[in-house]
A and B are shown apart, each in its own frame.
Chain A
Amino acid sequence: MNKLLHLYRRAGFGLSPSEWQDRRNWSLDQAIDDLFLRAQSRAPLPEGDHPEYTRGGMMAAARRKELQKMERQAMMSINHNWLSRMAAPGESSLLERMCFFWHGHFACEVKAGLLAIRQLNTLRAHGLGNFRDLVLAVARDPAMIRYLNNQQNRKFSPNENFARELMELFTIGRGHYTEMDVKEAARAFTGWSGNLAGEYVFRARQHDNGTKTFMGKTGNFNGEDIIDIILEQEETARFICRKVYRHFVNDTVDESHVNTLAAEFRSLDYDIAALMRSVFSSDWFYASENTGNKIKSPVELLAGTMRQLEVSNIATQGLIGLQFALGQVLFRPPNVAGWPGGRTWIDNSTLLLRLNLAAALFQAADFNFELAPELEQENKRQLKRLNAEINTTPLAALAQDAGQVDGKQGVASLVTLLLATPPPDFKTGPKPSAALVALRLMSLPEYQLC
C-alpha cells in the first residue's frame, strides 16, 4: 500500500496518472503541506445570474413554471460543475473534499441555484476554518433556513426543526440535550430568516427576547449564544471527530483515536484545518485496517474515475442520471441525516452499475476498436447519454515508464495507482494495452474501495 496514494484517496478524490507521475517521489509531509497550501486559495464561486422572485401569490402560474425550470437547469449545472471540480487536478482537492464532507454533514436539499452557490461558498469559506464560524454561517445560510423551516420560527409560533437538528445531527448528537433544550434553543433562533433575494435576514420583531434556560445556563440568549454553549460541551468535539473519523478513516470508529482528536480539537479552539492535519499525519491513518477498506460513495467513485480517465465533455444529464442510479445526488440528500454511506451504497443494481461504469465511459468515448470483446452487452439506458471523452494516454505513459505494460512492472504501476487493495489474482492476456488493463482493473470489485 502506497501511503501517498492513500492520503490523496481520502483527503481528495485520488490522483490522475499525470499527477501521480509528478508526485510519486514526494514525502508524505510534503504532500500534506501541499494539500493545505492549495486549499488556502479558496476563492468564492461566482454567483452568476439568477431569477428575481416576487411574492408567491402574485406570480402567474406560467411564470412560476418557467422559474422552476430555470432553477432545475441551474441546479444541474451547479452539480456538474462541482463534480468536475472534484475531478480536476487544477482545483484544491482537499478543499473540495471538505466541502463534500460538510455537505453530507449539514445535509440540506437545495432547489434554487443562487441558494446552492451561496451554501457552497459558506462551506468553502469555513470548511477548513473554525468550526464555530462554520456552524454560525450554516445557521444563517438561507438554503438551510428554508430547508429546516426556520423562516417559520417566530416568537409566538416557534418551529423547532432547525434547533433540534442543530443539536441532534450537526453538533452534539442524541442523548446530550433535553426536549426542553430544543424548545429553548428554538426560541433563541426565532427571527433568523431569509428573504426572496436569497439573503439572511434577522427579523427583530419575530425574535423572542425573553429569558431562556439552555443546557443549565439562563439568560436572554440568541442563536449565537446557543451555539457557544453547545461548543462548551465536551461531547460536541467528540461528535464531530467521530463523524470525521467515519468519513476519512473507517466506518468503524476507534473511540480512543476519536478521544485524542477531540481533546486536541477543543484545545485548538475548533480549528478544522488543524484537526484534519492531525488525522492525515497520524500513524493509524495509514495502518492496514484503515486502508483500502472503505466503499467509495457514488460521488467519490464518479470524481475519481473521471480524474483517472481524464474525462471531458460528459453530458450533464447523463452524469446526474448516474448519480440518481447510484444513489447519491449532490444537493439531494435523502433527509437531514445525510447519506448513511458504507454498505448501504451497495445493492445488486448499484453494484452492477458500478462495475460497468468504466466500461460505459470507454464505450461513450467510442473507445471500442481494440476493446470490443470487453464491451459487449452494455445496455443501461442512462449510460447511453454520457457522450464522454476520455484520455488514456497518461495511463499508458505511466505503464510505459514503469517498463512496458506487458511486463509485470507496467501492470503493477497501474494496479498501484488504480486500486487501494490488491486484486486477488489478476491475469492479463498476451500484449495487453494500458487502456485495456485499466478498464479491467476499474471493473473489479476492488476498485469500489478506497
Chain B
Amino acid sequence: MNRRSFLQASTLASTAMMTPAFLRSMASAYTTASRSGKILIVLQLSGGNDGLNTVVPYADDIYYQKRPSLAIKANEVIRLNEKQALHPALAPLQNLYDQGELCIVNSVGYPNPDRSHFRSMDIWQTGSPASENWSSGWIGRYLDSACVGKPPYHALEVNDGLSLAMKGKISNGFAMSDAKRLRQAVDNTRLKNLQATGVSQSGNLGYLYKTLTETTDAAAYLYEQSRVHKATADYPNVAFGKDLKQIAELITADTATQIYYASLSGFDTHAGQKGRQQRLLGQYAQGVAALVSDLKANNLFDDVLIMTFSEFGRRLAQNGSGGTDHGTANNLFLMGGKLKKAGFYNDAPNLSRLQDADLIHQVDFRQCYASIIDDWLEGDSQAVLGQQFAGMGIF
C-alpha cells in the first residue's frame, strides 16, 4: 500500500464511522477514482477584456484613427500574420502560436449583445440566448448530461465561490480556492462531530448531508492530491498565478478532475487602460505559459485544452479618459497540444462594418462550447445547449 492509498483508506475509515450507508458508498467510489479522458481548462477574463488591444489589427488604419492615444503602435506589437498581432505583454504566448498550439477565434459573440457585465457574463456562463434568463450553467448541464455518478470535483473551480457556469440543474461543480484552506474549513469540532444516521436520502436534509460529506471527502482527497506534485515553472506571484499553479499540480497528480475553471478580473478599463491592461495581460500570459510548460514537462499538454474568454469586448473608439467602454464581439483563445486547426480560425474583425459603433459577431460563442462538448469532451452539446450548433473542426 503506497502512501496515497493509505491516506485514502484512513480518510474513508474516519468518515465511514459517521456517515449513513447511502453516503458512504458514494464516498468510496470517489476517492479511488483517477482521471480518464481529456481535460478542459476554462479561463475567464472578468470585466470585459479589450480584444482589439489584445489581438491588435495593426495593419488597419481605422484602428489607429479611432484610438489616437490608446492604439498599440505597429512597431511594438508581436506580429502573427499580415493583419493581426499580439499585445507586447502576450510575448510568452508567441511560442505557442508558432508551434500550432494556439487557435485565435475572432469576433465571437451572440445576437442582440448585452453591454451589462452582469447580464453578459450570465449569458456566457449559462449559454442561453440573450433573450432568455437561464439559471443553470453550461458546464453544470454538461455534468448533468454526461457525468452522472462522478465526484463533484469532476469540475473544479479554483475560487472561493462557485460560478453559475458550474451549476447544473442536478449536479454542481466544486469550488476551492486553496486545498489547504479548504481542509482547514472542514476540520473543526462542530463539523467533525456531525452524525447523519437516520437522515432520509430523498429530502433536502439528505441533500445537505450529502453535499457536506462530498465536501469533506473532496477536501481530504484534493489536499492529498495537491501534495503529490510540485510545479516548477515560473508562475506570476499573484492570485491568478497561484490558481494556475494549483491546477498544474492537480493535473500532474492524475486528479479525477476533467474540467478546471479559473478567473482573472480587473479588465473593466474605462479609464487609464494602457497600464492596467498591460499588467493584467502580462499576468495572464506568464501564468498560462508556465502552466503549459509544466504540462509539457509531464507529457500532458496533448490531453489538455485551455479556453480563454471574456464577457464582451470593448468599443472600437477610445473614450475621453484613456480607456474604452463596453462593447460586444471579442476574440477567444483555444490552446492545446492537439489542435486540428491552429493560428487564426477566421478573418480579422471588419472595423468598417459596425453596429451601434461596435463589432459585429461572426462566431456564436455557443458554437465554441458545442465543439468543445462534442469533439473534445465527447459529450452531447444539444443536451447541454438546447439546440444544435455547427462544429468548428478544431479538435
Contact = CB atoms under 8 A, between A and B. Distances in A.
10 contacts: A61-B320, A325-B160, A343-B204, A344-B167, A347-B172, A348-B175, A348-B218, A349-B160, A350-B161, A359-B188
B198 A425 contact: yes
Given A334-B135, A425-B198, A61 B119 contact: no
B344 to A, nearest CB: 35
Contacts of B195: 424-426
A380 B185 contact: yes
Given A346-B208, A377-B188, A443-B190, 4 more contacts: A294-B204, A336-B133, A355-B191, A359-B188
A421 interface: yes
Smallest CB-CB A-B distances: 4 pairs: A445-B208, A340-B135, A349-B175, A335-B133
B197 interface: yes
B132 to A, nearest CB: 9
Contacts of B193: 440
Contacts of B190: 355, 359, 374, 439-440, 443
A337 interface: yes
Contacts of A375: 188
A446 interface: yes
Contacts of B188: 356, 359, 374-378
Interface stretch (B88-96, B209-217, B260-268): B209-217
Contact of B214 (A348, A378, A380, A448): A348
A449 interface: yes
Contacts of A351: 208, 211-212, 215
Given A348-B172, A424-B198, A337 B135 contact: yes
A329 to B, nearest CB: 11
A349 B162 contact: yes
A178 to B, nearest CB: 16
Nearest to B184: A377
B70 interface: no
A374 B188 CA distance: 7
Interface in B145-185: 152, 160-162, 164, 166-167, 172-176, 181, 184-185
B204 to A, nearest CB: 5
B186 interface: yes
B203 interface: yes
A379 B185 contact: yes
Interface string A370-397: 0001111111110000000000000000
Contacts of B122: 334-335
Contacts of A295: 204, 208
B22 interface: no
A425 to B, nearest CB: 5
Nearest to B177: A349
A346 B205 contact: no
A73 interface: no
B189 interface: yes
B196 interface: yes
Looking at A109, A343, A380, the one whose CB has the most chain B CB atoms below 10 A away is A343
Interface in B284-330: 320-321
Question: In which size bucket is the chain A interface?
Answer: 35 or more
Nearest to A439: B190
A448 B208 contact: yes
Contact of A347 (B175, B185, B198): B175
A293 B172 CA distance: 21
Contacts of A443: 190-191
B18 to A, nearest CB: 10
Contacts of A336: 133
A356 B215 CA distance: 14
Given A293-B203, A344-B135, A377-B185, A349 B209 contact: no
Contacts of A381: 160
A273 interface: no
Contact of B167 (A347, A352, A449): A347
A444 interface: yes
A335 B205 contact: no
B390 interface: no
Given A325-B161, A340-B135, A344-B167, A373 B212 contact: no
A440 B118 CA distance: 38
Contact of B152 (A337, A348, A356): A348
Given A379-B181, A425-B198, A293 B175 contact: no
A327 B3 CA distance: 39
Nearest to A448: B208
B199 interface: yes
B124 to A, nearest CB: 14
A375 B191 CA distance: 11
A343 B207 contact: yes
Given A355-B212, A424-B199, A449 B205 contact: yes
B189 A376 contact: yes
A346 B207 contact: yes
Contacts of B175: 347-349
A375 to B, nearest CB: 8
B193 to A, nearest CB: 8
Looking at B176, B187, B190, the one whose CB has the most chain A CB atoms below 10 A away is B190
A61 B215 contact: no
Contacts of A348: 152, 162, 172, 174-176, 211, 214-215, 218
Contacts of B321: 61
Nearest to A442: B190
A448 B194 CA distance: 14
Contacts of B199: 424
Looking at B122, B172, B198, B208, the one whose CB has the most chain A CB atoms below 10 A away is B208
Nearest to B170: A343
Contacts of B191: 355, 443
A377 B119 CA distance: 36
Looking at B133, B197, B199, the one whose CB has the most chain A CB atoms below 10 A away is B133
